[in-house]
Amino acid sequence: MKTFKDLVFHPNRIGGINSRTDFDNGFSLSVIAGGFAYSMPREDNTDPDFFGEFEVAVFGPDGGWATREFFPDHNDDVVGWQTRADINTLMLQIQSK
């Protein structure tokens, strides 16, 4: 099972960092952080260890937004301020679909 420690982050062209992970079941997880994202701190940096909270989005096998499948009470396609533990839980949920 993939966890947060398996994420590979890259510098984002508008600052900060991003990671996209594809799962065997067709779902994908986007994790970003930086001055433009719902992350903590909201500053640009290329080191994932700099951040304590991240913004996430989930995409379904069809490529469309699937975030609300995992956050049914949330009213947006992205969810901010997710800790590493929150992301680990989300990744387990995605892989269990």
pLDDT band with cut points at 50, 70 and 90 for residue 86: very high
Domain ranges in the chain? 4-95
What is the mean predicted confidence (pLDDT) over 12-37?
97
CA-CA distance, 20 to 75, in Å (whole number)?
22
Would you place residue 57 in the very low, low, confident or very high pLDDT band (cuts 50, 70, 90)? very high
CA distance 25 to 2: 13
The answer to whether the bond into 41 is cis (omega within 30° of 0) is yes
Q: What mean pLDDT do residues 46-55 have?
A: 98
Q: How many CB atoms lie within 10 A of CB 47?
A: 9
pTM over 0.85: yes
